[in-house]
Amino acid sequence: MCGIVGYTGREEALPILLDGMRRLEYRGYDSAGVALLSGEGIEVSRKAGPLDALVQELEGHPPSGTAGIGHTRWATHGAPTDSNAHPHSDCSGRIAVVHNGIIENHEHLRRQLERQGHRFNSETDTEVVAHLLEAKVAERSCTLREAALAVASELEGAFALVCVSSAEPDVIVAVRQDPPIIIGLTADAGFVASGIPALLPYTREVMPLDNRQVAEIRPGSARVFSFSGDKVSVDKVTVEWDEAAAERGGFEDFMLKEIFEQPDAARDTMRSRFDESGGVVLDEVHWSDETLRRITKVVVVACGTSFHSGMAAKHAIEHWTRLPVELDLASEFRYRDPVLDDRSLVVAIAQSGETADTLAALRFAKKMGASVVAVTNVVGSSITREADAVLFTHAGPEIGVAATKTFTCQLIALNLLALYLAQARASMPADKLAETIEAMQALPDQIEETLLLQDDVHRAAKRYAMATDILFIGRGVGVAVALEGALKLKEISYLHAEGYAAGELKHGAIALIEQGVPVVGIVTGQALYEKMLANIAEVRARGAETILVARRGDERVRAIANELFEVPTTKPLLSPVLDSIPLQMFAYFVAKERGLSPDKPRNLAKSVTVE
Ligand code: M6R
């Protein structure tokens, strides 16, 4: 949440900051602001609304300077107004700060600072940092970095802070306690950002700060210190993503581009993960077969769309490994007193690798002695540094707030993990393993075929775009697809949608059905096929109109569908990869028909770094 960018070098900083902010705007778009440092001091410009509002405001009189910081906000404390927009300044206007996170003890600190005579101009938690820095610099006659170290120890909560002072016009100081901070260097410039895409035009060698570290960045160099003040070294991580991957590339929206990137993303996620003898190789998961055989249960933790991929994976892991799988929302997991020990394997799924609740769940699981494997898309993210093993989805950067290609790649990665466990535990006959791997390898081409449904899906979206409620139903792994289809639709089209296990409808939700209510049904499963048809008959009998996802050539489903999306046939446990694609497109086209921007839905941010 919140995009942060900083630059110090020889160029005019403003265009670099605005470009970085544009690349990170998916992290928050309630307001935007910049602070530019020049020989004259600091000039702060801030504006409520999306980044374009700030750009317009600055037209004709752009602030100048060769160092500066920028911020796109996802509001926590204080409404999205000009005065609550970052950067925030101290009383003298000589210090400016941007922040991602929540400072939990801000009220107490604010009262203290007000008693000392500091004047506040916003309702944010962030502003206390600017005044605390001012107080420390005055008290100790110290550098900004020294002041930041002292301030960090007084703050409670989660904070990625980036600050500048007019007394040190080529220095940027960054502080990390939980939300990500990434540094990039070139020969004559220093960059800092809250997300990799902002750094891609300049470098692919990035230095993610660890928790409880402070960095002092100058043109071409950076020094990093622990909160206790010791100088520490930071490893460089090479990012595979190129700059073009984080551009729209001719598509109207990132979401549509990312939906169409799925065949390649799926290929990349599977690349080098099968060996010639027909087995699954996961070099990143370095546990021995013996250790994998000792596991007595698997616990999957995640939020949002990642939770839905985990829900589908539960079926595959249980079926192929015969291990019991528990599935938990990461935000609930640590509060339910779960039973874990050193024979538990926890699978933590997070596209961003930064979701606060998933990280907290991971830490809790480790404390209980469990082994943790993370499934993530972002190299160098927090989850990769804390998990015992990491399985990357190689989906490339996902900028649209709605997860699409990362969902299908998570499904693929989790299926790989399930097969890998089955292989190590010898729980799956060799011929079944080989057949399943073959089916997985066919998925990228089948995704390509599924994308050809675009026109059918667009027609259905036009027909139902103005509905007020839509139900999504499925059975087996289809429940995860139904929940994900409903989430996708509600988050970008603001249309009320509910995902349900079809067999549960009769226990309440069927009361919502009346003449003309659209019901999306996933009817690709084989085991519960007849039961699913019966559930569809029940809603049709009560007036529902049906939008059905079915296997290609299924005439029985065709006969009961008002709109039909026919997907290629695969193994039932793999079918969520294909079934979810028309539903992603459906959500996209409904949002467009309703005149909404699918990439930046209201109230949301791509990466949820607060609890
Ligand atoms: O980065 P994560 O996978 O942990 O993110 C979890 C959710 O915030 C995310 O999936 C969210 O639900 C998406 N907006 C869904 O499209």
Sheet holding 469-474, edge to edge: 496-501, 469-474, 518-523, 545-551, 563-567
At 334, give phi and psi (nearest 5°). -75, -10
End-to-end CA gap in the chain: 11
**Which atom of ligand 1 is nearest to 406's Cα?**
3
Predicted confidence (pLDDT) at residue 44 exceeds the cutoff of 90: yes
Q: What is the mean pLDDT of residues 277-303?
A: 93
Predicted confidence (pLDDT) at residue 462 exceeds the cutoff of 90: yes
Q: How many CB atoms lie within 10 A of CB 233?
A: 7
Strands (DSSP E) along 354-468, which ranges? 371-376, 389-392
pLDDT tier at 452, thresholds 50, 70, 90: very high
Alpha carbon separation from 390 to 230, 267, 270, 325, 346 (Å, rounded): 29, 18, 15, 19, 12
Residue closest via CA to ligand 1's atom 9 equals 304
pLDDT value at residue 246: 73
Alpha carbon separation from 580 to 265, 557, 565, 596 (Å, rounded): 15, 18, 11, 21
Q: What is the mean pLDDT of residues 527-552?
A: 95
Of 596, 606, 605, which is closest to residue 494 (Cα–Cα)?
Answer: 596
Judge whether 188 and 219 are in contact, CB under 8 Å: yes
CB-ligand 1 contact for 352 (6 Å cutoff): yes
Tell me the residue length of the chain. 611
**Which atom of ligand 1 is nearest to 305's Cα?**
10
CB-ligand 1 contact for 350 (6 Å cutoff): yes
Number of H helices, E strands in the chain: 19, 25
67-73 and 325-329 as β-strands: parallel, antiparallel, unpaired? Answer: unpaired
Q: Residue 306, SS3?
A: helix
Predicted confidence (pLDDT) at residue 249 exceeds the cutoff of 80: no
Q: Is 405 a catalytic residue?
A: no
Sign of the torsion angle spanned by Cα atoms 571, 572, 575, 576? negative
Q: Which of 47, 314, 592, 606 is catalytic?
A: 606
Domains of the chain in sequence order: 3-239 (3.60.20.10), 247-446 (3.40.50.10490), 454-593 (3.40.50.10490)
Residue 402 Cα, ligand 1 centroid: separation in angstroms? 7
pLDDT value at residue 610: 76
Model confidence pLDDT, tens digit, residues 376-418: 999 888 999 999 999 999 998 898 999 999 999 999 999 999 9
Predicted confidence (pLDDT) at residue 248 exceeds the cutoff of 90: no
CB-ligand 1 contact for 357 (6 Å cutoff): no
User: From CA 155, how far away is CA 152, in angstroms rounded?
Assistant: 5
Name the residue of 355, 358, 481 to mutate for ligand 1: max ligand atoms within 8 A of Cβ: 355
3-8 and 67-73 as β-strands: parallel, antiparallel, unpaired? Answer: antiparallel
User: From CA 62, how far away is CA 281, in angstroms rounded?
Assistant: 53
Name the residue of 303, 308, 309, 362 to mutate for ligand 1: max ligand atoms within 8 A of Cβ: 303
Residue 13 Cα, ligand 1 centroid: separation in angstroms? 32
User: From CA 65, how far away is CA 54, in angstroms rounded?
Assistant: 17
Q: What is the mean pLDDT of residues 74-85?
A: 90
Q: Decide which of 236 and 248 is more confident.
A: 236
Sign of the torsion angle spanned by Cα atoms 43, 16, 184, 28? positive
Judge whether 164 and 147 are in contact, CB under 8 Å: no
Residue 606 Cα, ligand 1 centroid: separation in angstroms? 7
At 144, give phi and psi (nearest 5°). -65, -40
pLDDT value at residue 147: 97
pLDDT value at residue 62: 95
Residue 597 Cα, ligand 1 centroid: separation in angstroms? 18
Q: What is the mean pLDDT of residues 47-71?
A: 95
Q: What is the mean pLDDT of residues 482-504?
A: 96
Residue 478's identity, in one-letter code, is: G
Model confidence pLDDT, tens digit, residues 308-327: 999 999 999 999 999 999 99
Q: What is the mean pLDDT of residues 9-16?
A: 96
Residue 97 Cα, ligand 1 centroid: separation in angstroms? 28
User: From CA 449, how far away is CA 574, in angstroms rounded?
Assistant: 15
State the Rg of the chain over Cα.
25
**Residue 182 corresponds to which tokens in the numbers above?**
């990434």
CB-ligand 1 contact for 1 (6 Å cutoff): no
Q: What is the mean pLDDT of residues 538-564?
A: 96
Of 64, 73, 62, 70, which is closest to residue 29 (Cα–Cα)?
Answer: 73
Judge whether 1 and 28 are in contact, CB under 8 Å: yes
pLDDT tier at 525, thresholds 50, 70, 90: confident
Judge whether 184 and 173 are in contact, CB under 8 Å: no
Predicted confidence (pLDDT) at residue 444 exceeds the cutoff of 90: yes
* DSSP codes joined into one string, 320-352: HH---EEEEEHHHHTTS-----TTEEEEEEESS
pLDDT value at residue 45: 97
Q: Residue 204, SS3?
A: coil
Q: Is 592 a catalytic residue?
A: no
Cis bond before residue 87 (omega within 30° of 0): yes
Q: How many CB atoms lie within 10 A of CB 289?
A: 13
User: From CA 124, how far away is CA 578, in angstroms rounded?
Assistant: 44
Cα angle 105, 106, 107; round to 5? 95
Residue 239's identity, in one-letter code, is: V
What percentage of residues in the chain have a pLDDT greater than 90? Answer: 84
Of 547, 12, 568, which is closest to residue 263 (Cα–Cα)?
Answer: 568
pLDDT tier at 425, thresholds 50, 70, 90: very high
Residue 460's contacts (CB-CB under 8 Å, 6 or more residues apart) are 547, 563, 565, 586
CB-ligand 1 contact for 402 (6 Å cutoff): yes
User: From CA 444, how far away is CA 266, in angstroms rounded?
Assistant: 6
pLDDT value at residue 286: 87
**Which atom of ligand 1 is nearest to 403's Cα?**
16
Q: What is the mean pLDDT of the chain?
A: 94
Predicted confidence (pLDDT) at residue 235 exceeds the cutoff of 90: no
**Which atom of ligand 1 is nearest to 607's Cα?**
1
